[in-house]
Structure 1
């Protein structure tokens, strides 16, 4: 019963780590596409009737009763000369974070499959867990850098020299951090937590050493032998059932 509870708890932690990483990846994509990185409060600009503009890393938007609806969002390109470095870097790093997050989720899913279903061959279990955890950590750091940089620019009330055709002033009356940065910070922290969860999965680190001991231990006197004993039953027709993954037996070391 104790082993069953321990095994289920570790299974739960891994599942939560995978779900946290997947949700963080979705939030990272949402952060990259949101316009509310900076909230600009403007005055004496007759085109912007709402007196508020939302500046993101890809476009700047505002409400206007003067312009057609199609012209109230102005695109921001990395090749534009007026774009500050924090926005240009954010465009590149956020796209890299989305790609790394996708590969990290795939690696984490493969790691879960190896941990749960790969009984005979566990040589790659350490590699897939390290890869998944590293990619999650890299994704969190890639998104954290532009978020902190842009947040610092907002707190310093840095300006952007928008050209006249964008109908935006070069400097707002005041500005504050938008909701996109808050969402991105939460996503980055969740990514880091998922990365640590997969990197700290100790079965992956002990799997190879336990594999080398499977034929050299006494099952009556050495608790390490529990890591390789497979519970199985065989029907008359030769069908095997109930074979457990040895990766989950590591928690029984020293508990017998």
Structure 2
């Protein structure tokens, strides 16, 4: 028998791009969250921080120390940041929460986009259901983008203004560096936010075609 369906696959190129950009942006969000190089501190005290450089992330602080091993070997010492460390600035703890939200919301956005694209190429759902999936996916991508952009921008501002951090004494970290610079995690986060924003824009731009019909024949 003969089955009629809308030939709307040709209108979904931007939505395919939305899924691709959203997936890459989501992966970069996870990478940025896991990197310790959010802020790179240059310090005077090289007795414990042997290289004179410490890396400040949103989960931990790391530096190279030769104290417990021979001078020929390098040992990376890391101190985890905990919720009870009230001296840690708010932008670090907020970054932890928002990036976790971005990871979950971004994954849901990809799932919604997959359902919409599957519906287009297989002709399973009605027009309103396809559009609804793209709108939900776009909203989730947009939310994820903002959840990445806010902590990245806030921490970038802190680096530019050379703001200090009162670390606990057990961290062996000075409260202020001689100089500090942006670490790799911040540009990765900015790219992630841009890609997620583009995914949201492409998802919102979907328009269901009107009046164009193609024939799919199946034999029994």
Q: TM-score normalized by structure 1?
A: 0.76
Deviating 4+ runs (over 6 angstroms): 68-71
Q: Give the whole-Å Cα distance in 2 for the aligned partners of 1:48 and 1:112.
A: 52
Kindly report which structure 2 residues correspond to 1:193-204, keeping only aligned pairs within 5 A, or say none: 193-203=198-208
Aligned runs of 1:70-219 on 2, under 5 Å?
A: 72-119=77-124, 121-203=126-208, 210=210
The structure that is strand-richer by fraction is 2
Contact 2:131–2:206 under 8 Å retained in 1: no
Q: Distance in 1 between matches of 2:24 and 2:183?
A: 21
Q: Which has the higher contact order (CA 8 A, sep 6+)?
A: 2
Alignment: residue pair count? 210
Flag structure 2 segments of 5+ consecutive residues without an equivalent. Answer: 1-6
Instruction: Give the superposed CA RMSD.
Output: 2.0
Is 1:231 matched up with 2:215?
Answer: yes
> 1:44: which partner in 2?
45
Structure 1 gaps, min length 5: 1-5, 211-223, 239-256
Normalized per residue, which structure has more helix? 1
Partner deviation per Cα, 1:203-233 (whole Å, 9 max, x = no partner)? 2xx6xxx5xxxxxxxxxxxxx3xx3x34133
Deviation at 1:120, TM superposition (A): 6.0
Match of 1:243 in 2: none
Quick check: 1:78–1:91 contact (8 Å CA) kept in 2? no
